[in-house]
Amino acid sequence: MRIRAGYEITYDCPAPTPMLLMLNVRPEREPDLESPDFLASEPAVPVRRYRDSFGNTCARILAPAGRIVLRSDFVIADSGLPDPVDLDAPQHRVEDLPDEVIVYLLGSRYCDMEPLSDLAWQLFGDTPPGWARVQAVVDYAHERISFGYEHARPTRTAREAHEERRGVCRDYAHLAVTLCRCLNIPARYCTGYLGDIGMPPNDAPMDFSAWFEVYLGGRWRTFDARHNRPRIGRILMAVGRDATDVAISTNFGPATLAGFRVITEELPPEARAWDRPNEAPRASL
């Protein structure tokens, strides 16, 4: 399967504003790219890239005063298969976990574990450890929260999402991640592209998506508390402890979001890769 993905994001800056951007695909997906995942801007500005402590590709720019448009439009190969399911994937004892995984057992800005720890063990302590326990957490978060873009609030924590029972994809992920960590299951927050491939047509505007991964059976496994079903065509951009670590943009000064468009669509086999990344996408985003 071949997927076209990209974005066009516009900011208005009253003064030159440094920006940290996390808009590239994760390094492990780079070999699948058929055309460059190239961050272009109008006006053109220098871009300095680096890898953060979670292995994400980050970019630094100095946005000039006025309007700046950030865009990318690329093609990536994908297996076309839904998220793998391994019902036998075991849960590790904490003492057996790799050192680099331990950070995903700790509380973080939006994953406030202490208020939810007792609840997690009351709800899931009798569930068999491993895949079944994580799936029980996903089922609970999926049913607990009512989705709506009008419910979006960037400061909402996992505890608040649990109490308010509403939110967007990041809130589903934060709640599920937090409950898993309370149960000694390493869990990390993920962001990326997720279109409606293999799903009924959806007229809602496209956006980046949030899901999460847990460490079971010696590897990271994908779960999605909002959709609660294996999906086709995920394109991972970044992972971290919570949404703080994977923000698509962090502005070190005033900047107003003036436009936001995302595209993720399956291409027919004969379609050619988009080869003019410095031009605006021509398709309706």
Question: Tens of pLDDT along 69-87?
Answer: 999 999 999 999 999 999 9
The pairing of strands 146-147 and 166-167 is: parallel
At 121, list the tokens.
Answer: 């063990």
pTM of the entire predicted model? 0.92
Place of tokens 């492990």: 28
Q: Are residues 111 and 190 in the same domain?
A: yes
Mean pLDDT in residue range 32-54: 97
| pLDDT reported for residue 275 | 44
- Closest to 19 (Cα-Cα) out of 191, 214, 273, 256: 256
Range of the domain at 218: 94-246
- Measure the CA–CA gap between 180 and 74, rounded to whole angstroms: 34
93 burial via Cβ count (<10 Å: 0-12, 13-18, 19+): exposed
| pLDDT reported for residue 270 | 67
What's the full length of the chain, in residues? 285
Q: Which amino acid is at 140?
A: Y
212 close to 187: Cβ distance less than 8 angstroms: yes
Question: Which of 9-23, 171-185, 187-201 comes out lowest in average pLDDT?
Answer: 187-201
Q: Are residues 122 and 241 in the same domain?
A: yes
| pLDDT reported for residue 7 | 97
| pLDDT reported for residue 186 | 98
Q: Are residues 111 and 242 in the same domain?
A: yes
- Measure the CA–CA gap between 212 and 177, rounded to whole angstroms: 7
Question: Is 276 part of any domain?
Answer: no
- Closest to 44 (Cα-Cα) out of 24, 21, 61, 26: 61
| pLDDT reported for residue 82 | 97
Q: Mean pLDDT, the chain, as a whole number?
A: 93
DSSP three-state, residue 110: coil
- Measure the CA–CA gap between 276 and 257, rounded to whole angstroms: 24
Q: 255 pLDDT exceeds 60?
A: yes
Q: How confident is the model at residue 203 (pLDDT cuts 50, 70, 90)?
A: confident
Question: Is 83 part of any domain?
Answer: no
Question: Tens of pLDDT along 29-42?
Answer: 999 999 999 999 99
Q: Are residues 125 and 63 in the same domain?
A: no
Q: Are residues 56 and 174 in the same domain?
A: no
| CATH number (domain holding residue 210) | 3.10.620.30
- Closest to 183 (Cα-Cα) out of 132, 252, 249, 236: 132
| pLDDT reported for residue 277 | 42
